[in-house]
């Protein structure tokens, strides 16, 4: 469906395939935390990343070859991907000459920012003139249907969280890759912007009109062969006062057979809502089973993924072992891997 | 904020006040079921309805005075409201001359259909030329914020359902009116198109981007005086495979102190999802309390509203009494009123 993208200068992305390989654009970023998207793409989708480009004032680098838009296009790049976020989610005027140069060089532009690419007149005009696509991953897909709730063929695994932003995407990626490496027919299904850039397709569920959110989740993991496993990137948390509805739509539409609870040991308060406590893992398991039963009565918790970034290896091993024993489930930090992660993969495979 | 509407030819409606009084437009409707919006406006907002207008082929009437757009404008009407729905949610070409005549007569156009008024070029051009507003109640409000989950002052009551389309709007309207008649400071808060037309303001929660749905619900019932009661129109059902997320966003954002479960005795299958059974009232109470506790730990069920349309008075009285006794809660059909409804109002007042 990539051809379809080229025909439409400004469009929503549903399950279309993004044009690749990418030139990662880092803007004028000097704070590595703002370049998480670019680092994620480098780490999880190296085969989709040809190089990087940035303004002279930038100090952050992914270590990929530095290529101008024209050089990247000459080497086969098909899209410039904005791999950085700034606090306002805006595109500064200083980036504009580089984005226009990319369009002129024949690249599409892919972004997941709050501001819409097509709302910036110089970009919209240049894209129309050169027949390039401006792809906003946060633009809600058009023509979605409401969910049917009907069971689809194939198997599904969903990552859920005790909170936002603690490893649901990387857990799903690591499990999908780990199972594929074992020869299983497993696909990572992206439900957020960075995941979509990594996978090259997906739907940003949180950007969908509420009425269609569960329907979009059904579309995200379509009917498949009985042995096929979709590993679906979770969003938000059922205990988050702002995003629980997004999590519920994804749970109902995904109708998962199994789920992995993702948790960051030591995080006490809910991200962005400090008056709310991060719920215990057991509460998340119980609530997910209770709500998930609506569209899959056989739903069960398969294991626990712990984000132990910043811990010593000894502390991480200890908290992983303790958490697994406490809940009677395999627990691991997929980023650390090891025997614990192998056991988690065994459980996902079962 | 009505003035603001006039300045902007095509806009989203957040909590703006709709221009009134209305001229109800019935199109070419011959099927009374398709004119539910117009009948609802006549019954619940007579003070906002000046008259009706339709094509010569229409056979449905609200019984209101028949006025052309020009006559209505001369009598003070400020908007033509499309009070009918057709299966496709479209605006037939045959309606266009009447809508254009309304714009030329100085009326704004209000609609809650799937098709957007502003997407119809002749309407958009006429509205721009005459400085009139095209108000699509299903256009998601712009500039919403994500929910904070923080407790607001004032009291809140939410109607929830065992399914869609069984009386949540009319229950909330009847309770708000009933309490206001007793001298209580109570406001109906509309969360769907027809409710917004009746109240003259509100937010169509199901049309909001999922990420902002709970935030929109917070905006819908803002902080108020400690004694003030907002009676909030519910949407969907926590047990509906397509719409549960909308219901959860409204529950979390409304942070109700009390809720009324709305149910239609005898309805077995979920509307639009016949493979799903309508849940028992007790299950809806338990699930609403469990999920609602996140933003209001004191949430409790106040009573049960039964839609007994089509039953004999004897059957209705019997099922109302039995249901109330079974759950140990006041039960009533607000449309039938009577002592049972007085008891339900007593419980809401407590």
pLDDT for position B7: 32
Least confident segment among A11-25, A321-335, B3-17, B293-307: B3-17
Query: What are the b/e assignments for A133-166, b being 16+ CB within 10 Å?
Result: bbbbbbbbbeebebbbbeeeebbbbbbbbbbbeb
Answer yes or no: do A207 and B207 touch at CB < 8 A.
no
Distances (CA, A) of A214 to A150, A211, A218: 12, 8, 6
Mutate to test the interface with A, among B144, B191, B238, B245 (most CBs of A within 10 A): B245
pLDDT for position B173: 98
Mean pLDDT over residues A319-343, rounded? 98
Least CB-CB distance to A244: which of B209, B239, B252?
B252
**pLDDT above 80 for B87:** no
| A303: confidence class by pLDDT, cuts 50, 70, 90 | very high
What span, in angstroms and rounded, lies between the C-alpha atoms of A136 and A81? 10
pLDDT for position B174: 98
Q: Chain-wide mean pLDDT for chain A?
A: 93
Mean pLDDT over residues B307-324, rounded? 97
**pLDDT above 90 for A322:** yes
pLDDT above 90 covers a percentage of chain B that reads 89
pLDDT for position A84: 93
Half-sphere exposure of B53 (CA within 13 A, CB side): 22
Residue-wise pLDDT tens digits, A139-169: 877 778 999 999 999 999 999 999 999 999 9
pLDDT for position A79: 98
pLDDT above 70 covers a percentage of chain A that reads 95
**pLDDT above 70 for B54:** yes
Least CB-CB distance to B210: which of A206, A239, A272?
A206
**pLDDT above 70 for A16:** no
Contacts of B251 (CB under 8 A, 6+ apart): B158, B160, B238, B288, B291, B292, B295
The alpha carbon torsion through A289, A290, A293, A299 (nearest 10 deg) reads 10
Which residues in chain B have Cβ-Cβ distances shorter than 8 Å to A287?
290
| B90: confidence class by pLDDT, cuts 50, 70, 90 | confident
| B168: confidence class by pLDDT, cuts 50, 70, 90 | very high
User: What's the gap between Cα B215 and its chain centre?
Assistant: 18
**pLDDT above 70 for A5:** no
pLDDT for position A320: 98
Which residues in chain A have Cβ-Cβ distances shorter than 8 Å to B210?
205-210, 213, 245-246, 249
User: Which H or E run includes B302?
Assistant: strand B300-306
Strands A108-111 and A155-161: unpaired
- Min Cα distance A287 → chain B (Å) is 9
How many residue pairs from chains A and B have C-beta atoms closer than 8 A?
Answer: 113
Phi, psi of A28 (to 5 degrees): -115, 35
pLDDT for position B15: 58
Asked if CATH classification 1.10.10.350 holds for the domain at A155-349, the reply, yes or no, is: no
Answer yes or no: do A215 and B242 touch at CB < 8 A.
yes
Mean pLDDT over residues A126-137, rounded? 96
User: Which single residue is written with the structure tokens 């904070």?
Assistant: B148
**pLDDT above 50 for A332:** yes
**pLDDT above 50 for A2:** no
**pLDDT above 90 for B10:** no
Fold of B2-136: Rossmann fold (3.40.50)
Q: Please give the DSSP secondary-structure letter assigned to residue B134.
A: E
Contacts of A293 (CB under 8 A, 6+ apart): A299
What span, in angstroms and rounded, lies between the C-alpha atoms of A157 and A229? 7
What span, in angstroms and rounded, lies between the C-alpha atoms of B57 and A304? 64
Mean pLDDT over residues A72-78, rounded? 98
Answer yes or no: do B248 and A248 touch at CB < 8 A.
yes
Least CB-CB distance to A140: which of B209, B213, B252?
B209
Least confident segment among A204-213, B47-56, B85-94, B266-275: B85-94
**pLDDT above 60 for B114:** yes
- Residue of chain B nearest A241, judged by CA positions: B149
**pLDDT above 80 for B9:** no
| A11: confidence class by pLDDT, cuts 50, 70, 90 | very low
Domain ranges of chain B: 2-136, 155-349
Domains A2-136 and A155-349 alike in fold: yes
ipTM: 0.91
Least CB-CB distance to A245: which of B248, B272, B290?
B248
pLDDT for position A8: 33
Q: Which of A194, A254, A259 is nearest to A221 (CA)?
A: A254
Mutate to test the interface with B, among A12, A147, A211 (most CBs of B within 10 A): A211
What tokens appear for B239 in the block? 């047990």
- Residue of chain A nearest B115, judged by CA positions: A143
Least CB-CB distance to A210: which of B148, B206, B276?
B206
pLDDT for position A4: 33
């Amino acid at each position: 469906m990539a051809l379809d993208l080229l025909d439409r200068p400004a469009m929503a992305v549903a399950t279309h395939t993004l044009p690749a390989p990418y030139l990662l654009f880092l803007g004028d970023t000097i704070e590595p935390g703002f370049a998480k998207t670019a680092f994620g793409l480098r780490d999880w989708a190296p085969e989709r990343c040809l190089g990087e480009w940035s303004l002279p004032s930038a100090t952050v680098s992914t270590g990929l070859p530095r290529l101008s838009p024209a050089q990247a296009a000459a080497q086969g790049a098909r899209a410039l991907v904005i791999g950085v976020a700034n606090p306002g989610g805006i595109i500064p005027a200083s980036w504009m000459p580089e984005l226009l140069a990319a369009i002129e060089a024949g690249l599409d532009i892919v972004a997941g920012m709050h501001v819409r690419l097509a709302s910036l007149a110089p970009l919209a005009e240049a894209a129309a003139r050169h027949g390039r696509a401006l792809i906003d991953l946060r633009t809600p897909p058009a023509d979605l249907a409401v969910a049917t709730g009907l069971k689809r063929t194939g198997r599904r695994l969903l990552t859920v969280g005790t909170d936002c932003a603690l490893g649901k995407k990387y857990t799903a990626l690591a499990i999908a890759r780990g199972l594929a490496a074992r020869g299983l027919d497993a696909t990572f299904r992206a439900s957020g912007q960075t995941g979509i850039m990594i996978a090259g397709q997906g739907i940003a569920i949180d950007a969908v009109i509420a009425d269609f959110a569960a329907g979009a989740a059904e579309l995200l993991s379509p009917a498949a062969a009985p042995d096929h496993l979709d590993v679906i990137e979770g969003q938000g948390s059922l205990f988050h006062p702002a995003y629980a509805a997004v999590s519920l739509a994804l749970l109902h539409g995904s109708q998962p057979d199994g789920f992995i609870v993702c948790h960051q040991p030591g995080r006490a308060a809910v991200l962005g809502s400090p008056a709310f406590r991060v719920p215990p893992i057991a509460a998340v398991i119980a609530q997910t089973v209770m709500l998930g039963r609506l569209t899959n009565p056989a739903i069960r918790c398969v294991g626990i993924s712990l984000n132990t970034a910043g811990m010593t290896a000894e502390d991480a091993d200890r908290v992983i072992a303790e958490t697994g024993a406490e809940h009677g489930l395999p627990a691991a930090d997929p980023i650390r891997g090891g025997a614990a992660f192998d056991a988690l993969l065994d459980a996902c495979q079962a």
